[in-house]
Each structure stands twice: as C-alpha cells, then as structure tokens.
Amino acid sequence: MQKSLARGWNTWDVSSITAQVLLPEAFTIRVGFKHNSALYADRFLPDVLIGKRGKDDEDVIPGPHTWDGSYTEATVSWHGDTFLLQSAHEGSDLVMLATPVSSKSPALPASIVISAGVLWNRTGSAARSGDHLEFRNGWRRIGVYWTGREQAPSAIPLDTPYLAAAFVGPVGVSTGSPRSVEEIRAILDRRRPTDGGVSDAIQTVMGWDTFFDPTQSRVISPVSRLWSTGWGGYVLFDWDTFFAASMAAIGDRDLAYADAVETLREETPEGFVPNYARAGGWKSFDRSEPPVGAITVLGLFNRFHDAWLLRDIFGPLLSWNRWWDKHRQLNGYLVLGTDAGNPIEDPDDPSVGTLQGAKYESGLDNSPMYDGAPFDPKTGMIKVADVGLMGLYVADCNALAEIASALGKKAEEAELRARGRRYSESLRTLWDERTGIFLNKNLDTGASMMRLSPTNFYPLLAGVATARQAARMVDEHLLNPEEFWGEWVIPSIARNDPAFKDQDYWRGRVWGPMNYLVYLGLRNYDQAAARKALATKSLALFNKEWISKGHVHENYNAITGQGDDVTSSDRFYHWGALLGLIDLEENPPAGREARP
C-alpha cells in the first residue's frame, strides 16, 4: 500500500508546497523567490507554507491539488509580489509554470530561483549541466529544463545547483525534455480538474496536507504542514488522523487505509493509540484520545469491502478497546485520565499526571465541561462519568463487534457485545428526564453536571438513546437557538453557558469533528430534517472562508462564522473539511452511494 502511494512527483516535502519531490528517488525541484529591492535585496523565500501569519511571512491561497499530485496550483503573495505556481504530470515527467500576477516594484523585479537536490540522505546527486540541471543516481538520470533567461550570478543563499532569472514573465520547468511555456500551459490545461464542488475541496485539502515521512518511509496526512514542521517533521493526532481517513475515502482508498493503519501503528506498549505521536519517536505515553478508530475502519470496509484491512488492524483496535475498560473505568463508568509514571515520558510535556493531561485525553483541551472537575492525582483520573467518552466507546464496541463478526471471531465478538451492553446500561443511567438529555455526573458528589456541549449528543452515535429521548434531545437542545442552533452551528459549549462568549478554542467555537459525530448520530434515528439542516449549515460555514480565502480552519467563531478572527485556529487544518463531508454524505452526487 505504501509502495503504491509513495511514487512519482508530488508535494511530498512537508517543509514547502513549492517543492516537488520524485519518489522513491527523493529528487527534489524547489521554486524559490528573491527580492531585489534597494532596501531588502537580501530577502529570499526558499520554502512556502500555507497558513502563516507573521508580518514578513508569505500568504498562500491554495488551489486545486489532486489526490495523486497530477495537478497542483497555489497563489503566493510575499512582500508586495504575487505569483501563481502550477504543476502537472505528463506521463512520468513533471511540468511546472510560475506566473507573476502583480509586483510592488516592477522596475526591480524579484528573481525566480529553480534549485535541485536529493532529500533525506537518499542515493544520488544534482548538478548543473550546461543550461539545465540534472539528477543522477546509480540507475536513473533526469534532466530539468526551464524557459527562463538566466540573470547574472547573484548572492542567492543556496548550496545546491540552481537556475535564476528575473521574474518578469511566465517561467516554465519540465523534466525529461525541454518544453516551451505554451507546451507546458497546454499540459496544465488538460490536467486541471474541473470544479467538483465540495468533493474537490476535500481533495484539495487532503492533497496539500499529505506528505512523505522519511523516518518511517510512509505517506501520511497529519493535520497541517504548520503543525508538523512545528513538531519536528510530523505529528499524528489520534482522532484527527482517523477523520482524515474518512475524508480520503471519497477519492483515494490507499490514502484512507494508510491514515488509519499508520495511526494504529503508533499504538503504545500499553495497548492504546496515543493522543499524539510526533517526529523523534515521542508519544503521549500517558493518555489516549477519543476512540473513533473502529467506526472509521468499519466505514472504510463498508465502502471498499477489503477484508484484509480488517484482519490487519483488528488486533490493535481490540487492544485499544480493552485498554479503555481496564484503565479508565471508575464506578462502572468511563472517565478521562493520564497515567503518570509510564516508562517513557516526554520531558517537555508538563501536563503528564495533571488535570490538564487528563483533559487532553478528551481531545477538547480547554472545554468548560471540565472546569473545576474533581481530579484524583493518585489515579490520574477526572472523577466525572463522561457522556461523550462513553457514547464514543459504546459505538467503538459495536463497530468492533461487527468487524469481529465479519472475521469470524466469535469469542471476540461476544466479548465486545457484552462490554458494549455493560457500558450502554451505565450510559442510560446518565439520562436526565427533567432536562431531556444525557448529563455528565460528578462521581464525588453523584450530582449531574448541567453544562452542555455537542458531546452530550454522542449517545445517539452509540444508539443508546430511545427514539423518544432522541427526539427530545434534538427538539429541546440541538434545535434550540438558546443552546446550540443558530446561523453558525454547532458551538462547542451551549450558547447560554457563561463560557460561550469566550470563543476561545473549545470554549464556544464550532469544530468540524463535533458536527460530524453529531451528524452520524442523527443518522441512527428518524431525524431527516435535523440531519439535512445540519448538513446545510455545516457546508455554509465551510464555504465562508474556503471560497474567499482558501482557508480550512481548525475551528470557527460560533457568532460570526469566522475562522480567521483568532490565531489559535490553524488556517489549513484538514478536519475543518469535515463540515463539507457532512453535506457530501447527506447529498451524495449521482453515482455515489451515501455513507454506509
């Protein structure tokens, strides 16, 4: 699977979207830009990333990016200059076209710099050969040609061979043989995908957020390039990457499988999938994150019907499921926790063994639901029977039991169904008839906790709520404009909660994964109108900044619908596209069945 994915030219290098890399050789062609103005002639932009916010940083509007990298497009603005960069495949060759769009100083145009090298200590070299560049290794030689008119040598800070020209018109690059700008443009026109609406938007998001991890020779889809470069090369968050698998499933089966498999491959010796796994081998050995793995894998199987996938990853899914029951059970309920004292701990993570570490296990880092929650430092547990966690866990038991049944594993199926029933019964005790919703319970006092978030709807995902209870939850809470409904939905804490006005991360903002999980829960009940309304509103929120700015936000303001109003919302975080996936699953295009 990985060998199939990790082939050909694509934006495989996490550090730059203007770099194309050929796998498996690791030959790279990088497009950089240098200012030549009187005061800032030393400004050089060798690498480009989406979503930066600094005063001197580049601003990127990402255009189409196909699953296999056969076409990419991005518009980059930097210090007053704007240019368009496109790429496409022509057989095994790569073509690129850089086109200046506008310039702050036409009299002193920027330089475009085409450089070549070999990444990740792979065998081979790149060298200047007359008027072009050339890659070589023991079995392959590839020429890199361009259409630029070379400028006089200047102080460009590169230690790899390069070609540089005044950027006053389109400059084309091609491998294999020289091609004119007109020939390259014709290839681009043939390869550019037609706008397929939300499905192409998801393809673009996933395309730009997928790259190659040389440390484990694998293709993965971390949440964003900014997060990954900030964490040393990559960071895989548990539920984030499972959601990436669900999004990849609309167009690239192998990538969907890879994201699910590679997330499970990060499982710790204790048998759980960690909150995070990052470059350098560090993981959160003290805590996990929401258990959405089995429902994701079952969804992939129902779409593609590959039994080998179930056989290969049933073991780690089962270990993870058992781990929750063994390590996070308190008084018959599931709770959140953090296990201090594990053999390996990240010395830079001060949250281990603290209330904050246990909050991180929820995936909802600063949710008001856990403000003032009772915490036992000896066990590392938050002493709260957690409706959201239990709803997800029962859904995990049910999905994993279906997988066991498909594999003929009768003993494991019986074990999982029994565990699912046990926690279903516990979850049912958290129903509050007076308020008409499931409520968290303080296990110190036995009192119900009145704060509401979308996680209170997760019993719908588990199928635990009765039809009458589901109707009350939807009518009295989800569609209640004083709590969760409105122009922009679903806020991560109820609108009438004092913390809603914070609009800070999980304190009131809208998050794609919450909307998606509530939507999946609604599918289990006769709630077609609510489901369709949620899909429509989710798509509208996704499109608000996607269409105008090319942003796919980590989270959005539940009052204004903006994602760019705070710095704590990554501008190109792939799970923001779950808002579009909801609509795609609710209104599948002709020829595509709805999600099983």
Residues pairing with 344 in the sheet: none
What is the C-alpha to C-alpha distance for residues 121 and 141, in angstroms, rounded to an integer? Answer: 17
DSSP state letter for 550: -
Going through 377-467 in order, the beta strands assigned E by DSSP cover 381-382, 384-385, 431-432, 437-438, 440-442, 448-449
Say what the pLDDT of residue 339 is.
93
CATH: 3.90.79.10, 1.20.140.160, 1.50.10.10, 3.30.870.10. Which one for 198-586? Answer: 1.50.10.10
Locate tokens 């938007």: which residue? 201
Long-range contacts of range 198-202, CB-CB < 8 Å, 24 or more positions apart? Answer: 198/539, 198/542, 198/580, 198/581, 198/583, 198/584, 199/250, 199/251, 199/584, 199/589, 200/64, 201/542, 201/546, 201/577, 201/580, 202/247, 202/250, 202/251, 202/577, 202/580, 202/581, 202/584
pLDDT along the chain (596 residues), means of 10: 95 98 98 81 89 95 97 96 97 98 85 96 95 94 95 81 94 98 98 91 98 97 97 97 98 98 96 95 94 98 97 97 98 96 71 95 98 96 98 98 98 98 98 98 98 98 98 98 98 98 98 98 98 98 96 98 97 98 91 46
pTM for this one? 0.96
Say what the pLDDT of residue 109 is.
87
Say what the pLDDT of residue 155 is.
76
What is the C-alpha to C-alpha distance for residues 113 and 83, in angstroms, rounded to an integer? Answer: 13
- Kindly list the domain boundaries of the chain, sorted by start residue: 2-191, 198-586
Cα 312 to the center of its chain, rounded Å: 23
- Which secondary-structure segment (H or E) carries 357? helix 355-361
Say what the pLDDT of residue 596 is.
39
> What b/e readout covers 24-58, taking b as 16+ CB neighbours within 10 angstroms?
ebbbbbbbbbbbbbeeeeeebbbbbbbbeeeeeeb
Say what the pLDDT of residue 106 is.
80
Going through 281-350 in order, the beta strands assigned E by DSSP cover 329-330, 333-334
Residue 133, SS3 per DSSP: strand
Radius of gyration of the chain (CA): 25
**Token pair recorded at residue 372:** 């003032």
Q: Which CATH superfamily is domain 2-191 in?
A: Glycosyl hydrolase family 63, N-terminal domain (2.70.98.110)
Between the two ends of the chain, the Cα-to-Cα distance in Å is 24
Q: Quick one: angle between helices 512-522 and 238-248, nearest 10?
A: 60
Burial class of residue 356 (count of CB atoms within 10 Å of its CB; 0-12, 13-18, 19+): middle
